[in-house]
Amino acid sequence: MQMRSMAVAAATIGATTVLLIGCGGGDDDNQTLEAPPAPLTVASASAACARLATATVSAGDIGLPTSGATVSSATLQAATATLPEHCKLLGKVTATSPSDPPINFQINLPTQWNVKTLQFGGGGFNGTVVTGLGGVSNAPAATPVPLALGYATYGSDSGNQKPNGSFGDNDQALANYGGQSVKRMHDVAVALQKQYYGRAPYKSYFQGGSKGGHEALAAVQRYGADFDGAIAYYPANQNQGIVFSWYRAWAAMYRTTGAYVNLAKAAAVKASVLQACDALDGVADGIVSNTAACQTTYDVAVLRCPGGADTGDTCLSDPQIAALRVAGSATELAFPFANNVTSIGGYPVFQGGDVNGILIDTVGAAGQANLFYSQIKPVITQWDLQDTSATIDNFDYTKYQSRVLYLSNLLDANDPNLDTFKARGGKLLMVQGTTDMLISPTLTNAYYGQLDKRYGSQLAGFTRYYVVPGFGHGFGDFTSNWDALSALEDWAERGYAPSNQVTFDNAAATRGRTRPLCEYPAYPKYSGTGDVNSASSFTCAVN
């Protein structure tokens, strides 16, 4: 991991640029890179910031239809212990129709600029403005936030003000949520950076996880000419398919008599999985690293209660085993979704998946105290059925094929065509955890497989995909921390492709241990000697 310090210096606008040959491995050897401009310092920042208080961006400067953008406030923020002096802009991008919601945004313009910009993705149903003041997803705590590194940063609410998802009755809000807000915000942010600094950024990046990971993929798939790099953690890239796979698992557990698995039973399943699979990577460390071997080794039937009836918390009844097997198996779709996707999942319930609060209710067995329910209910009732009074019981998506396909094509970010992004020289970093019960590793694996099928040996020239054992949806038995932004900068700006990357565990019980960050389909395998808490004792192996 690279440790960073903020390095800024005064410079004049319009510094001369030269071309150089990047150094690195594989397809990067002959990459031509633009020499980075010197950092830029804004003179009389207070007055310059104040001038943006009434700034506007015309509709003609935004690459998708709008009525333009306006700044509602511009305030020079004094430097703090963690953030530099910067001009904070609040404003909105107005839709072409007055009945459609705006995109509310925040843009942060540091007085000392590294001539780069970073767009932050959102989460869940979005609906609240992402400030851009925080760090990159899953970065080590000691890593300075991008604004402190001199980045102009920005984020938005993605064009809706309803974080509960109840905006499905508005087509423009859905389109913005599906990825169009990424483009609109990029163009507005760059236009305002030009007004403040007198030039466009030298490099433009995107970063996010989950919904923000979806937006990162939308950026490189649809707007590849605008971005030089993107970081996508556990990307929720297939709205309709994911939601229906969640629904299938949810219904199997909560709409089948006797199928509910309580917290104690869920713990028994995880302990059983670890007993069978933990050491398949050469060491018992509380993590299932060799998930492929685990899939052929473990059978949940070992926990079957005598006679298949529910006789206590140390075993599973037949309906409970059946429900867990549904969650662990792929959802085969009745017709192809966007980009010919025909199956989704399953989820890692038998590889140590983080089920509590996601699939499993934390209180009782009503089926409403879990993330699956909170996500599927508004999507199914308001987006698919377009009926706020509807319930999700007995939902059958095949009866609404035209609406489902409309939403899939509008929302899904699973297009393997990254030609424009690749031609620009863009670099993509994707990270997935093996125990993620919200965004199944099989889902991200499948998208990477699409990319590999399209680009073959060329894919390594612009994409890296890492799968972290024991890592869930931002947490887990191995809570992965990695300075992805440094790796992206080294690759996109200096031509050094990522190699020998290391991830740090931030889980409370095991904080500080390290593992190699292995490129899919490899996993960390213990070499047989050395400190089991050190990445140097592991190699990246493939079955």
Cα dihedral angle (442, 447, 453, 454), rounded to 10 degrees?
180
219 shares a domain with 92: yes
DSSP tag of 509: T
In a domain, 13, yes or no: no
Question: Residue 215, SS3?
Answer: helix
Per the rule left: phi > 0, alpha: psi between -120 and 50, beta: everything else, 352 is: left
Q: Do 397 and 288 fall within a single domain? A: yes
* C-alpha span between 281 and 290 (Å, rounded): 5
The one catalytic residue among 157, 317, 473, 483: 473
- Last residue in a domain, options 410, 427, 460: 410
74 shares its domain with 99 = yes
Residues 368 and 514 in one domain: no
Q: Kindly state whether residue 261 falls inside one of the protein's structural domains.
A: yes
Asked if 101 and 155 sit in the same domain, the reply is: yes
Same domain, 255 and 313: yes
CATH number of the domain that 68 lies in?
3.40.50.1820
Domain annotation covers residue 7: no
User: Is 354 in the same domain as 448?
Assistant: no
- Domain-ending residue, one of 410, 439, 462: 410
pTM: 0.94
State both tokens at 116.
Answer: 């780069």
Its domain, for residue 437, covers 40-237+413-541
Question: Could you tell me if residue 231 is inside a domain?
Answer: yes
Active-site annotation holder among 354, 436, 477, 505: 436
Residues 183 and 73 grouped into a single domain? yes
Residue at a domain's end among 376, 410, 444: 410
Domain count, the chain: 2
What is the full per-residue pLDDT of the chain (543 aa) written as tens digits? Answer: 333 433 322 232 233 333 333 334 444 445 678 889 999 999 999 999 999 999 999 999 999 999 999 999 999 999 999 999 999 999 999 999 999 999 999 999 999 999 999 999 999 999 999 999 999 999 999 999 999 999 999 999 999 999 999 999 999 999 999 999 999 999 999 999 999 999 999 999 999 999 999 999 999 999 999 999 999 999 999 999 999 999 999 999 999 999 999 999 999 999 999 999 999 999 999 999 999 999 999 999 999 999 999 999 999 999 999 999 999 999 999 999 999 999 999 999 999 998 999 999 988 889 999 999 999 999 999 999 999 999 999 999 999 999 999 999 999 999 999 999 999 999 999 999 999 999 999 999 999 999 999 999 999 999 999 999 999 999 999 999 999 999 999 999 999 999 999 999 999 999 999 999 999 999 999 999 999 999 999 999 999
Whether 67 contacts 95, CB under 8 Å: yes
Query: Taking the C-alpha atoms of 175, 429, 135 and 124 in order, what is their torsion angle to the nearest 10 degrees?
Result: 30
Residue at 27 is within a domain: no
Rounded CA gap, 439 and 212, in Å?
A: 12
Residues paired with 356 in a beta bridge: 360
The answer to whether the beta carbons of residues 110 and 117 sit under 8 Å apart is no
Active-site residue flag, 210: yes
Residue 12 forms part of a structural domain: no
Residues 258 and 164 in one domain: no
Flag whether 5 is in a domain: no
Residue 483 and residue 515 in one domain: yes
Tell me which of 158, 210, 408, 480 is the catalytic residue.
Answer: 210
Contacts of 104 (CB under 8 A, 6+ apart): 90, 91, 92, 129, 156, 157, 161
Asked if 334 and 312 sit in the same domain, the reply is yes
Report yes or no on 483 lying in a domain.
yes
Contact 185, 103 (CB under 8 A): yes
Regarding whether 278 and 322 lie in a shared domain, the answer is yes
Question: Among this protein's residues, is 214 annotated catalytic?
Answer: no
